[in-house]
Chain A
Amino acid sequence: MSLKGKAAAIGIGELKPVKEPGDLTALGLMARVAAEAIADAGLEKKDIDGFLVGVPFSDPGMIYPASAAEVLGLNVRMLNQVDIGGASPAGMIWRAAAAIDAGMCNAVLCVVADLNKSGDQRPPVISVQREFEAPYGNIGANCGYAMIAHRHMYEYGTTARQMAKVAVDQRANALKNPLATFNDKALTIDDVLNSRMIVDPLHLYEIVSPVSGGAAIIVASPEVAKRAKNPPVWLIGAGEYANHSTITYAPSLTESPVKPAAEAAFKMSGLQPKDMNLVCPYDCYTITVIVTLEDAGFCKKGQGGPFVAEHDLTYAGDLPCNTHGGQLSFGQPGLAGGMSHVTEGIRQLMGRGGERQVKNAALAYVNGNGGIMSEQASLILERRS
């Protein structure tokens, strides 16, 4: 049993994020990106018979999938919400492929959108986190990643300059991405280190900015993929893992569940990290990229700092990484931030990378990360020549 080559991404829709939501609604954004993705695939709405959706913070609700499907006017044979944090979009891709492989449906719309309405009350965390985390100020994602970064620096000698390099190279990529939020000015390592310290040792430019936006991907059966407008991008490996929610209770701060997730994905694909033409690791923070590249096997454990310093992570470099700019430069429109890594992998493999196209891109490693290095979903994507 394997999902290798059982389904392909055939269409994407993605909005340029905006800083102020204005009159936008999450459901309205979902409709826009869904329409864009369906048209991009060369399908019609009636062809969509599967629906995977992420629940937006700005408009949450129970029995969400059927409610959102009704708004979009979908009649579907499989529907679900995927709630694994920032890993949800990557997790949707293999779930869609699994449903297709099981014969439950043929064309799955995966969609996420959200508004940045800071100050609005977010859905509550579960009772044990209200009881044992919130009283000490372990609230939000920043502090957990800061503690990961401090521990990584302590154990491996990772430096602030090495971490900053991730943001710098990804910004160089964003300068070629018209959809990126921050695409007007290059960054230097000193710019990053001179930006305001938010949670030691992470500076402002090492932390994602919340924005508003949305994205959608159509995953289809081989039969549907045959009549798609775009070259199909096949899912050839997938793996998922979680072993904690709050980072305090993780087995390690520096070795993450990316390891088993990526190992499973590479094993399914029969390929290795060195075979990849580009990588799209979730980058809520600079340290996230370093830990992910280590645990996915692109370098040895603890060598992620020197690795990102020595390699050119730009689209023209020796390890193109987050060629859309990463969320650090693209912005984080809720779960659509996590989907931006998946859409970019697909876009590059379809040969639609524009000015930032990676030459001869045929294989991509994509990783989705939820919570505080908690839920991990790794994908291997392939364009067949």
Chain B
Amino acid sequence: MSEYFKPLPKPTPTSRPFWEAAKRHELTIQRCGACKSFVYYPRDRCPKCFSDQLSWQRVSGRGKLYSYTVVRRASARSFADGPYVLGIVELDEGPRMTTNIVAAPEKVRVEMPVEVYFDDVTPDRTLVKFKPA
């Protein structure tokens, strides 16, 4: 595997279960026991009702592309290696996630159905990306 130069997530005590699940190729996010909201990114309290009754739940990995851009000229040098598709996926369970769409840019459309794609970018880290469903 060639060396990976892009920024990698540094899991925190709050987020570690998310990244560990991703490494197992499972998408798990938090759900609030009080207001039943799904929560992304991981929190210590529910951002809606402020309850601390958050637990982890595996979700479908399906959603739709809320919006996207094709970054042709990146602001960061680590992403200067070519165009990439940055997107916001709205999961079927509700929350939105920043992600990459693994597809040719010309095939990407707002509102297209997508499904999760686990990208093992290094032996230790798996990023949660999406591809056309």
Interface residue ranges, A against B (CB under 8 Å): 127-128, 130-143, 146-148, 150-151, 153-154, 196-202, 246-249, 253
Contacts and interface: CB of A to CB of B under 8 A. Distances in A.
A328 B12 CA distance: 39
Contacts of A146: 69, 71
B12 A137 contact: no
Contacts, number: 101
A240 B83 CA distance: 36
A209 B73 CA distance: 14
A200 B110 CA distance: 12
B14 to A, nearest CB: 9
A279 to B, nearest CB: 26
Given A143-B71, A150-B68, A135 B7 contact: yes
Interface residues of B, number: 35
Interface string B13-28: 0010000000000000
A184 B127 CA distance: 47
Nearest to B111: A154
B33 interface: no
Nearest to A134: B7
Given A143-B71, A246-B98, A130 B12 contact: no
15 contacts: A127-B12, A134-B7, A134-B76, A137-B86, A139-B79, A143-B69, A147-B68, A147-B86, A150-B68, A150-B69, A151-B66, A199-B72, A200-B69, A202-B69, A253-B67
Contacts of A136: 86, 98-100, 127, 129
A130 B10 contact: yes
Given A142-B75, A143-B71, A197-B72, A135 B66 contact: no
Given A128-B41, A142-B75, A246-B98, 9 more contacts: A131-B11, A140-B75, A141-B75, A147-B67, A151-B66, A198-B73, A199-B69, A199-B71, A248-B96
